[in-house]
């Protein structure tokens, strides 16, 4: 039986790695939660996906949409800053984006060009204003900013003038229709006038939403600005939603909304998806649903890469935390091997604790990104944010298992006992210190690299070693299944 001292030493070292990895993972989770890393990572991914680096256009509109805003923490409390969601499902994303594109398509039929000009004027003014702020003594730049402001105001006034005219036309049509209730032509003219006023009101509110989005992007901590951006977008969508529902070709309406987007990879990609949908589905009433499915696939593929961003960040942070924890605890692998090889009682206690940890530990959600996890944090998957179910130990449970152990780690500064393997030697110019420093650095480096591999890895490895040391495979059970059930026999 392969229950040798070497195997027990390996189990003891792996158990120590597991404990230190759990501490690093818990610290990493605390840091990620404190700085809202998952939410920020997801926002960065959405901004990149929707070609909205300043977060004043399509990406912010998606975040301000009720389907997304409703899953944000403190979204219902206007006195608190909304905490960014760390998870966004592909269905919510696609529905929110389709609602916005359909609204822009409904506006595009009559006032799309005016709205596009007004939004470009807003952006031009913002760029000119920033340039003027950076060079306050340059009269040319200041004059350009004033001209940009005039152009912005003119485009806004043009929309408001049309809105006033549409309102007046609707009131006249309504009066005429009321005077002749049986006249079908007057009723039709009234309905058309109502559609016109809804369309221009949607355009004005969409412009208000853009202006509020720019103000919110400049002052992200101002809760009222973000609330205003969301409220104006909600009003614009409410005006345009009924118009979009009347469109005979829903996908065509969405395509009109896409045409109003700024040039870039998002517009190009979505137009390609429209063409792909038309080729795949010929039935008009099924095309919008098929396009939504294509949107979800596009989103999921993009979020796999966003999950990689978070995983790489986590690996860097785990490595730094592993270095800190290993050095502070003096978890020197070379020293551990020496101690466990010589101390039978310590070795036996660590093996027993490891066996107990494997037996009582349930299968939990991993608190760190598992291999292949697609998340914008370890919680966004599926659509860019989610965790895979994997065997991962619980910090409190494993620490409780090890609380009565006298772990062979820590530093000793007792000069009366310089032979203690944990003794910290003061720097000196001698071959003895050089040799000690070399082996100490080598042992600590191995431990840092090992601990940075993560708790899930070491728990799975420990389970396999415990199973190897145990009684072997049960009769009628394959080796693979026995390994899977090693940690579940006591449940």
Is 486:358 a contact under the CB 8 Å cutoff?
yes
Angular region, 382: left φ>0, alpha ψ -120 to 50, beta rest:
left
pLDDT at 220: 75
The pLDDT value recorded for residue 271 is: 95
Round to whole Å and give the CA distance between 19 and 395.
8
Residues 18 and 61 in one domain: no
Q: Same domain for 328 and 381?
A: yes
φ, ψ (nearest 5 deg) of residue 449: -60, -40
Structural domain contains residue 209: yes
Structure-token pair, residue 41: 């990572």
**Range(s) of the domain holding residue 190:** 52-263
Residue 189 within a domain: yes
Q: How many domains does the chain have?
A: 2
User: Does 437 reside within a domain?
Assistant: yes
Task: Mean pLDDT check: name the lowest of 202-206, 233-237, 242-246.
Answer: 242-246
Q: Comparing C-alpha atoms, which of 393, 375, 397 is closest to residue 385?
A: 375
List pLDDT tens digits, range 37-51: 888 899 999 999 999
Segment 80-96 shows an average pLDDT of 83
Q: Is 479 exposed, middle or buried (0-12, 13-18, 19+ CB in 10 A)?
A: exposed
What distance in Å separates the CA atoms of residue 486 and residue 491, rounded to the nearest whole number?
11
Structure token pair of residue 368: 């760190």
Q: Is residue 368 part of a domain?
A: yes
Higher pLDDT, 75 or 390: 75
Query: Is 369 found in the same domain as 253?
Result: no
Structure tokens at 150: 């005039």
Same domain membership, residue 9 and residue 68: no
Contact residues for 257 (Cβ-Cβ < 8 A; gap 6+): 100, 101, 102, 103, 104, 105, 106, 108
Three-state secondary structure call for residue 381: strand
- What residues does 385 pair with on adjacent strands? 381
The residue ranking higher by pLDDT, 346 or 470, is 346
Do 171 and 133 have their domain in common?
yes
pLDDT in tens, 275-325: 999 999 988 889 999 999 999 999 999 999 898 899 999 999 999 999 999
Residues facing residue 423 across a β-bridge: 412
281 in any annotated domain: no
Decide if 414 is inside a domain. yes
pLDDT tens, residue by residue, 407-466: 777 777 666 666 666 656 666 777 777 877 788 889 899 999 999 998 889 988 998 888
């Amino acid at each position: 039986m392969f229950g040798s001292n070497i195997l027990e030493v390996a189990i003891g070292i792996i158990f120590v790695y597991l404990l230190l990895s759990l501490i690093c993972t818990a610290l990493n989770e605390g840091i990620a939660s404190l700085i809202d890393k998952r939410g920020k990572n997801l926002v960065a991914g959405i901004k990149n996906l929707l070609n909205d680096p300043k977060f004043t256009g399509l990406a912010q509109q998606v975040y301000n949409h009720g389907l997304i805003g409703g899953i944000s923490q403190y979204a219902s409390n206007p006195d608190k800053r909304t905490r960014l969601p760390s998870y966004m499902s592909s269905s919510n994303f696609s529905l929110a984006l389709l609602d916005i594109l359909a609204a822009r398509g409904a506006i595009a039929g009559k006032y799309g060009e005016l709205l596009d000009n007004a939004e470009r004027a807003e952006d031009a003014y913002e760029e000119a204003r920033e340039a003027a702020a950076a060079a306050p003594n340059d009269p040319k730049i200041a004059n350009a900013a004033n001209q940009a402001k005039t152009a912005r105001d003119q485009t806004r006034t043009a929309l408001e003038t049309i809105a006033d005219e549409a309102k007046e036309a609707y009131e006249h049509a309504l009066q005429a229709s009321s005077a002749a209730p049986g006249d079908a032509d007057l009723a039709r003219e009234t309905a058309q006038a109502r559609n016109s006023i809804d369309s221009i009101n949607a355009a004005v509110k969409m412009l208000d939403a853009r202006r509020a989005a720019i103000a919110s992007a400049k002052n992200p901590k101002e809760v009222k600005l973000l609330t205003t951006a969301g409220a104006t977008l909600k009003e614009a969508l409410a005006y345009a939603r009924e118009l979009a529902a009347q469109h005979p070709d829903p996908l065509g309406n969405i395509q009109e909304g896409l045409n109003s987007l700024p040039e870039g990879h998002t517009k190009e990609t979505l137009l390609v998806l429209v063409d792909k949908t038309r080729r795949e589905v010929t039935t008009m009433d099924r095309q919008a649903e098929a396009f939504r499915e294509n949107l979800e696939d596009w989103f999921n593929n993009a979020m796999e890469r966003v999950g990689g961003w978070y995983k790489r960040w986590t690996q860097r942070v785990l490595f730094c935390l592993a270095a800190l924890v290993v050095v502070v605890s003096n978890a020197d692998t070379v020293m551990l091997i020496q101690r466990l090889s010589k101390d039978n009682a310590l070795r036996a206690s660590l093996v027993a604790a490891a066996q107990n940890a494997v037996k009582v530990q349930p299968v939990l959600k991993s608190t760190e990104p598992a291999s292949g996890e697609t998340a914008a944090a370890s919680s966004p998957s599926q659509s860019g944010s989610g965790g895979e179910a994997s065997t991962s130990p619980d910090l409190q449970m494993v620490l409780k298992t090890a609380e009565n152990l006298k772990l062979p780690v820590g530093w000793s500064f007792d000069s009366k006992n310089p032979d203690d393997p944990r003794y910290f030697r003061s720097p000196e110019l001698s071959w003895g210190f050089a040799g000690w420093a070399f082996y100490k650095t080598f042992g600590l480096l191995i431990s840092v690299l090992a601990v940075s591999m993560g708790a899930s890895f070491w728990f799975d490895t420990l389970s396999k070693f415990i199973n190897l040391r145990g009684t072997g495979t049960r009769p009628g059970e394959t080796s693979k299944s026995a390994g899977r059930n090693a940690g579940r026999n006591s449940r």
